[in-house]
Amino acid sequence: MDNFVVSARKYRPVTFKQVVGQNAITTTLLNAIKSNHLAQAFLFTGPRGVGKTTCARIMAKTINCENLTETYEPCDKCESCTSFNNNASFNIHELDAASNNSVDDIRNLVDQVRIPPQIGKYKVYIIDEVHMLSQAAFNAFLKTLEEPPAYAKFILATTEKHKILPTILSRCQIFDFRRINVEDIAQHLSYVANNENIEAEIEALNIIAQKSDGALRDALSTFDQIVSYSGDHLTYKNVIENLNILDYEYFFSVTDAIIKSNIPDLLLTFDEIIENGFDGQNFIIGLGNHLRNLLVLKNETTIKLLLASDKQKENYLNQANNCNSALLINALDICNKTDLSYKASNNKRLHIEIALMQLAKLSNTAGGFDDKVNISQKSKDQSLERKVEYKTPQPVNKKEKEVSKKPEIKEEIKTPPPAKESSEVKVDDTNKESETGQVQTDITGDDKIEESEKKNKPKDDSGRKIRRISITESLKALKDEKNKSEEGDEPVIKNEFTQEKLEEVWKEFVVGYQSKSPSFASAIAKYTPKLTDDFVIEYMVDNHIMAKDLLHQTSLLEFIKRELKNNQIKLKAIVPEVDEVKKAYFDNEKFDELAKDYPGIVKLKDQLGLDFGA
């Protein structure tokens, strides 16, 4: 079995021409070699995996080559080149400053510099991760770095330039290596795949290039990993599965739902993403990147900022034409704020769902939800709440025929009515549920209903029967009133009534409402209502909470209108004003209060030179 060599080493560039994505630096170094204008020290700085150490080795090999080609590339035939290729060169020394960072290591290096090369022109010292050197090691290296022998060249490489002493930086020519763009990495991966006889989809290589974040070494390592997973056929699906990346189709469908303001589709898509094991924050970050790509397509000058394959670019362009720039900018702002506050949220899923709802509201206010929900038959069977329809039975005799002439009573309720309600309806236990989930029950007639109301009606102290007040009836009355206002103005009823009649009805309501809300009944019973002009009834309550209690106020208003036969009555709650008395807490405040009653105490204080202090 042959020893496997990773692609990052197997396809490591050996000439400046093979270096990917660093044309400016390689051209500068080649021109310096051509004109023989080589500095004594170079500093190669930049992110990981972009070619710093590779360029240092190529440069060391090139300047020691005895027979350079016409393009000033190494010949790979001379003794210096062959010894370098076999890792046996005595003129090129590599030092890892991460593990050799003491002052003694630098002193040993300085001692080696004094010995001239036996073969070749230069002795080249490549110090990798030079920022790891200690302060003493840097100081021991300063003099040699500033005035080295003519045959000595130093190439320093680091990813953290800011950690290097300024005195070191001033003695070097600095080359800043940049991140390699996605297109160059994808093109190089395609070259490697062809050499390895691997069929690779362009979109798959593009995803690997984007995931590498500008580091070619990381891209090659990921390429080897996915080849081990998928074999000789590299597909987009295999890449996103292996790297745990969300399919970009999710972001296209989410954006379409945002444009259409379809909240249900957004919630269902996000649920599918969570079920597949993806993190909510990764989703919101990916959605932000997707919206950013759509935004850069809105201007011809920023199209080059889009990092995607040609097929993806077409999809992005089609979707960008369906949304405006203002929506994308506002959506990006929401995604950014959601990302920043994600870790502080206790319910992280709800946090993302709220953000999706806000995104959907940017284009429309409908939200994809209907005010009236039509539930399917299957959902009805699974629901705990069922609709019950009450119908009058068919007449069988004369007496019941007279009853049957009255219109049928149909009432739809979500749950069976309580046994103690005044609108109690007797239901026959033998009735069976129909296929539609509705129950047909028999009503014995108006006489039995009235008799049931009389039995359940409470009495006040005088023995007078009081009608029971229901909050449900009040809410229904509000709904009916709203429906009447939409259909047309109801007839005006203005029956006059006196203050005494008002107080009598008021007391009747208080007694009947004790079982529903004792707190509200007690609050309005403390004060006597007052009848003013235009049938406005003023009454007092102790606080603003009682004054804004619309639910109980509606029950009170409907009861008074019905009992006094006047639908023009209006209620006005009044909260009595309470004079706030400022209480003295500090010593100087207590002294001022005391001085009001005893003015002579101020003179005494001044004579004794007293003070309250800090």
Identify whether 29 is part of a domain. yes
Asked if pLDDT for residue 438 goes beyond 60, the answer is no
pLDDT of residue 425: 37
pLDDT of residue 580: 55
How far is it, in rounded angstroms, from Cα 431 to Cα 411?
16
Is 137 found in the same domain as 197?
no
Over the stretch 469-510, which tens digit does the pLDDT of each residue have? 555 665 666 566 655 555 555 677 778 888 888 888 888 888
Is 170 found in the same domain as 121?
yes
The residues facing 174 across adjacent strands are 43
Is 153 found in the same domain as 31?
yes
CATH code where residue 85 lies: 3.40.50.300
How far is it, in rounded angstroms, from Cα 215 to Cα 83?
29
Q: Which among 509, 589, 583, 577 is positioned nearest to 547, based on CA atoms?
A: 577
Is 414 found in the same domain as 549?
no
CATH code where residue 516 lies: 3.30.300.180
Q: Which of 408, 427, 456 is the last residue of a domain?
A: 456
Over the stretch 45-73, which tens digit does the pLDDT of each residue have? 999 999 999 999 999 889 888 888 888 88
| pTM for this entry | 0.54
Note the residue count of the chain: 614
Tell me the three state secondary structure of residue 110: helix
What are 531's two structure tokens?
């009848």
Answer yes or no: are the C-beta atoms of 140 and 171 closer than 8 Å: no
Structural domain tally of the chain? 6
Is 172 found in the same domain as 77?
yes
Q: What is the CA radius of gyration of the chain?
A: 44
CATH code where residue 287 lies: 1.20.272.10
Answer yes or no: are the C-beta atoms of 216 and 189 closer than 8 Å: no
Those residues with Cβ within 8 angstroms of residue 354's Cβ, 6 or more apart along the chain or in another chain = none
Is 60 found in the same domain as 133?
yes
Identify whether 367 is part of a domain. no
Q: Region 193-212: what's the mean pLDDT?
A: 89
Is 94 found in the same domain as 28?
yes
Is 564 found in the same domain as 596?
no
Write out 318-353 in H/E/C secondary structure: HHHCCCCHHHHHHHHHHHHHHHHCCCCCCCHHHHHH
The per-residue DSSP string of 423-467 comes to: T-----TT--B-TTS-B------HHHHHHHHHHH--B-TTS-B-P
The residues facing 42 across adjacent strands are 155, 173
518-525 helix and 499-513 helix, angle to the nearest 10 degrees: 160
Backbone angles phi, psi at 385, to 5 degrees: -100, 125
pLDDT of residue 424: 40
CATH code where residue 192 lies: 1.10.8.60
Q: Which among 466, 524, 536, 541 is positioned nearest to 497, based on CA atoms?
A: 536
What are 144's two structure tokens?
């040699």
Is 399 found in the same domain as 274?
no
Q: Region 184-200: what's the mean pLDDT?
A: 90
pLDDT band at 321 (very low <50, low <70, confident <90, very high): confident
Q: Which of 242, 271, 287 is the last residue of a domain?
A: 242
Identify whether 379 is part of a domain. no
Q: Where are the beta strands (DSSP E) in 239-337?
A: none
How far is it, in rounded angstroms, from Cα 11 to Cα 153?
26
Is 123 found in the same domain as 172?
yes
Identify whether 56 is part of a domain. yes
Is 482 found in the same domain as 447?
no
Is 154 found in the same domain as 20?
yes
Identify whether 434 is part of a domain. yes
Identify whether 111 is part of a domain. yes
Average pLDDT score, the chain: 78
Over the stretch 223-257, which tens digit does the pLDDT of each residue have? 999 998 888 888 888 888 888 788 888 899 999 99
% pLDDT > 90, the chain: 19
pLDDT of residue 427: 38
445 or 223, higher pLDDT: 223
Over the stretch 403-416, which tens digit does the pLDDT of each residue have? 444 444 444 434 44
The total of other beta-carbon atoms located within 10 Å of residue 455's CB is 8
Across 208-230, b (16+ Cβ under 10 Å) vs e yields bbbbbebbbbbbbbbbbebbeeb
Identify whether 20 is part of a domain. yes
Over the stretch 574-589, which tens digit does the pLDDT of each residue have? 887 765 556 666 777 7
Identify whether 101 is part of a domain. yes
Q: What range does the domain containing 512 cover?
A: 471-574
Tell me the three state secondary structure of residue 222: helix
Backbone angles phi, psi at 192, to 5 degrees: -65, -40
Q: Which amino acid is at 548?
A: K
